[in-house]
Structure 1
């Protein structure tokens, strides 16, 4: 039996998945929590695969992922989400996720992906795999970020990854006012006025991140 951990804040989804795992001949749900904080507090190992909701209250699934892998480097983590944009998919994969699932996937698909993940096969639900293929097939267009400084490029990357000003300041070891200054310059150079406009440009492929 594959020992499963489940972190999902929606009680109905949580109970539905637990019931499905109880009926499964190959999956055994050993631990379930509604927040990442609770899981990190009580987790003592012994799991094979963890199904982790992306949009958790408090610490998000993407933020919790590296913490979980630090505690249990050999565990496989599959992300679970209601919808997926390529930024969150890529960030989760960069953080060590072994798979990515949409919540509207059938229970048979979820079970198959958990089994594949346990066997060491990276697994994506078909809808997410198609989204990634379309992303890489699209032609780059619009302004690049080459007009930004190295620090501004770093701030932009962290903004796109969804970090708050406070977390960005901590990551870069600068003050929040310093981050605000860099963000003001980014907005000015890209001719935008808000983070939502920045995300829209990035989703539309009109800006490209770069590393120096």
Structure 2
């Protein structure tokens, strides 16, 4: 069972998402919060696996709250569910470790699928936001050299750019799921990133691989 915490100051939205998730046998909403102030307390009490969090909330920005969550509870997955498709919000969220970024106009099934995906350790980014990465640049310190990645790691990284899951990468490269996880761990370390989505952003912005 995937335990979900809803963090949004709009009651009607929380009620809608709760009703949606109650239809799923493998997902349950364990709690709700209207602000970022008590999120850490809720995590301690309810032990959620995934948090759906808005950006624009009273008292504290959702991205700031998410950053605190990631520092204190790195195993908890966070999906930013927001109406904002601005570059600065998106990039900030990914840089702080968000596991997913969805817009509130996303289809209901996409939200459900995103919860399952991040619970499996994958990342989910709204398609319109992915396109923005190609024209956006972030200054990075200590950018790794391209030859730091092995040929196999570059193949795995290519698969990440294609949006493939661990299982799909394993099937495409004829390796085991465990081997994929090992490669991803090494890639994250070499690129100095924390997640699949951050690896994709870093690869595109620093032209680590030739883009198709």
TM over 0.5: yes
Matches within 5 A, 1:38-187: 38-44=38-44, 46-133=47-134, 135-136=135-136
Give unpaired runs (5+ residues) of structure 1: 139-212
TM-score by length of 1: 0.60
8 Å CA contact retained: 1:102, 1:128: no
Q: Which has the larger radius of gyration?
A: 1
> 2:5 maps to what in 1?
5
Secondary structure of the structure 1 residue equivalent to 2:38: helix
Distance 2:80 2:10 in 1: 15
Q: Report the CA distance between 1:59 and its aligned residue.
A: 0.6
TM-score by length of 2: 0.60
Q: Deviations over 1:133-182 (max 9, x none)?
A: 4x34x9xxxxxxxxxxxxxxxxxxxxxxxxxxxxxxxxxxxxxxxxxxxx
Distance 1:53 1:36 in 2: 9
Distance 2:127 2:26 in 1: 22
Q: Report the CA distance between 1:80 and its aligned residue.
A: 1.1
Give unpaired runs (5+ residues) of structure 2: 138-212
> 2:146 maps to what in 1?
none
CA RMSD for the aligned pairs?
A: 1.6
Q: Deviations over 1:5-41 (max 9, x none)?
A: 1101111111100111111122111111111112233
Aligned residue pair count: 136
Distance 2:103 2:133 in 1: 14
Q: Deviations over 1:106-130 (max 9, x none)?
A: 1100011111111111111222223
